[in-house]
Amino acid sequence: MRLFLLTTLVMIAFAANSVLNRMAVGVAGLDPGVAGAVRLGAGAAVLLVLAVWRGGGGVARPRPAVALTGAGTLFLYIFGFTVANGRIEAGIGALILFGAVQITMFAAGLLMGERPGAARWLGAAVAFGGLVVLVAPAGGAGVDPLGAAMMALGGLGWGLYSLNGRRAGAPLAASAVNFTLALPLALGWVALRGGGDLTWGIWPALLSGAVTSGLGYALWYAVVPRLAPSLAAVAQLSVPVLAALGGAALLGEVPGGRFWLAAALVLGGIGLALRRPGRSGARG
């Protein structure tokens, strides 16, 4: 039950990230590079303070390969996710993001020798079908192609980042190092783009970095080693519905019927996958 509650809390934080970053980039018009740098900087500051406090004056250092992979995949996620948030709505973006996460983590699980049971395979297939319903053109209109592609790239980065977290021995310290090492990459991105005018969007970007990203990712790094890769992937597909509700309440982005059909398929797939975990299901 404790693992379930912690996982639920992380999913809420992930949904809040979608809404806050859509607010910063898509609504307030903050430059994506600036938004990404602010998010990483705020997250790094909070995580470093907490890591030093919890570590009694020092921060445990993860293995260099784990740290560099974590920083690179975190930046890949931030890059795709932030650019996409300027082009597609929060709920739709979250659905594409975690669909790409699901594909990445399921594929990695198979390569790592995991053998999901039939129920989990069926649930994943139903959930993926919901994503197909969402992005397929209908009547000449569909999701912005570049926005969808960038969000899928972000999903690839997040899936790899989550998998890398399974190798991190100290979740809080590892998250602090990842954010700190990824920040120069984001600053380089800002330098290449030239930045832009600061808007009120800097405030939701700061909140996203300090709270729902920094603290949320540290908690995720603590939870993900206890979940099988395929189970972690499917659980994250609950985020788009939460993000859509947040987008409707805070941004006035009320999803249409096709989104809710897709969301119903996604949630139905989650239910099937969680009903009977495979042999390598969640531990603890």
Write down the pLDDT at residue 203: 96
- Res 174 pLDDT > 90: no
Write down the pLDDT at residue 98: 79
User: Cβ neighbours of residue 243 under 8 Å, at least 6 residues apart?
Assistant: 14, 15, 18, 19, 90, 91, 93, 94
Taking the domains of the chain in order of start, what are their residue ranges? Answer: 2-275
| 227 vs 68, residue with greater confidence | 68
| 242 vs 181, residue with greater confidence | 181
| 125 vs 196, residue with greater confidence | 125
pLDDT tens readout for residues 13-68: 999 999 999 999 999 999 999 999 999 999 999 999 888 887 755 556 778 888 99
Paired residues of 141 in beta bridges = 138
In angstroms, the CA 104 to CA 140 distance is: 29
Write down the pLDDT at residue 111: 85
- Res 283 pLDDT > 50: no
Mean pLDDT score of the chain: 84
| 228 vs 79, residue with greater confidence | 79
Structure tokens at 249: 């309440």
Write down the pLDDT at residue 229: 67
pLDDT tens readout for residues 58-105: 556 778 888 999 999 999 999 999 999 999 989 889 888 877 887 887
Write down the pLDDT at residue 56: 56
Q: Place 281 in a pLDDT band, splitting at 50, 70 and 90.
A: very low
Q: What is the arithmetic mean of pLDDT over 234-248?
A: 81
Q: Place 141 in a pLDDT band, splitting at 50, 70 and 90.
A: low
Structure tokens at 253: 């982005």
| 110 vs 230, residue with greater confidence | 110
| 46 vs 236, residue with greater confidence | 46
Q: What is the arithmetic mean of pLDDT over 201-225?
A: 90
